[in-house]
Amino acid sequence: MGLLARAAPLILGLFIALAYKVHEELSVTPSVPNNIEFYEYWGPKGGDPYGDSLEIVPFNISYPSAVIERLREKLYDGPSLTAPLEGTNFQYGFNSGRLEKIVDYWRTDYLDRWNEREAYLNKFNHFKTKIQGLDIHFIRDKSESVVNPKRIVPLLMLHGWPGSVREFYDIIPRLSNRTSDKDYVFDVIVPSLPGYGWSQGTTKPGLSASKVAVIMKNLMARLGYKRFYIQGGDWGAIIGNLMAILFEKDILGIHLNMCMASESPLTIGKMIVSSFAPRYFIEEQYVEFYQPVWPKIVQLVVESGYMHLQATKPDTIGTALEANPVGLAAYILEKFSTWTDPANRDLADGGLETHYTLDALLDNVMIYYLTNSITTSQRLYAESFNMEETSKRYERIPTNVPAACAKFRHELMQYPDWILKDHFTNLMQTNHYDDGGHFAAMQLPDVLYADIVQFVNRLYVR
């Protein structure tokens, strides 16, 4: 051990030199393309690439009772679940004993009140419009009483996987209503990502996160906004970040609750360096958010098996989950357990109802089930991680868009500000929260709301 300790500086120096060399040789920073394909067609084969209607039509969530009763039958006729191992909770994945209780609630109490849940999902104004050949669904909530355009702030909110627009239901009215903490109201636009929920999936390969960023930009243009703010987590954070890179002059500010550093070997080197002397690089009260590094990396590996599967074989796992509501619920709800707090693995109920209601969780599952969108949602991983897309690596391009990072204690991965600032060169705000995880908008809407308002208040000009 003594020899290893003495050799550590040499090993570290060699690693940093190697990281710089790899960075120099393999990662020539791409430039923002001058000819972004704003009209690239993603609709069905044989469709008109220039046939998009500019029409925005109201959309209502409505399913016949026969669809709901068919779901109830599937839940009654579901698989016989294998009993969990003795003395285990969620350490091996979703505990089957807990799952049986959730399924029983789903097929009885929840589905008995489906009309109520459907009405709840329709509480905001829903719309659809055709963008680049795809029907794109979005929620829009805008104050009817504020008419001065200078006091209306456009905000695009982007969800991730396995979330949906349902994540934002508690925070939307806080943002769109008049409140004493802000001199404006938000015009809140919450789209379903292409292939998620009620937004149409493409039939063509290649719809990666950078391509989705263009679709989202075109959606905001359709709504009359050239410049706007962005908020997002998970894929929403990745897509929002790409929009801040590709359309830097048009993004007023970007607020993320999953800030990612530049994709480069140098970032890895910096993470290792900070692990040797964390208090030199990180304010002491926040060291535990980032250190020790290795257990956090192990934790990330434990939680990222789904990513490898969806980035390589999305249709295989999709086939296993389509028309299989019990499996779908287990696959999705497990993430709401351990991504909210890894300690939930040790709880008999997975900690799900500590932070969420079963109705809210099942609303989200129902969106995937009713729209049959689990496979199309997972393809975003395969498209975004393929070799052609990876070779572009727009994420390496720094952005000077004003940025804010809300850091919740149990987020899957955290980067210290001194590393983030290489990418977010205008990082204006960082707040650390001792609670919270990956689904901040759904778990802690009041906290996330206050963080967004604090950021926009810094930039808002009457």
Residue numbers annotated as active site: 234, 381, 438
- C-alpha pair distances (Å), 364 with each of 80, 367, 420: 24, 5, 31
CB–CB of 433/447 below 8 Å? yes
The total number of residues written for the chain in this structure: 462
Angle (deg, nearest 10), helices 374-384 and 209-222: 120
Distance CA 215, CA 130 (A): 10
* Closest among 196, 405, 407 to 287, alpha carbons compared: 407
Residues in contact with 55: Cβ distance below 8 Å, sequence separation at least 6, in sequence order: 129, 130
* Lookup result for tokens 């607020």: 255
CB–CB of 209/236 below 8 Å? no
Q: Strand (E) positions, 142-244?
A: 152-158, 185-191, 228-232
- C-alpha pair distances (Å), 285 with each of 47, 332, 412, 432, 438: 57, 34, 19, 10, 21
Distance CA 187, CA 147 (A): 11
* Composition of the chain by helix, strand, coil, percent to 5: 50, 15, 35
Degrees to nearest 5, angle at CA 216 with 151 and 380: 140
Distance CA 60, CA 53 (A): 19
Residue type present at position 31: S
- C-alpha pair distances (Å), 294 with each of 15, 121, 350: 16, 41, 24
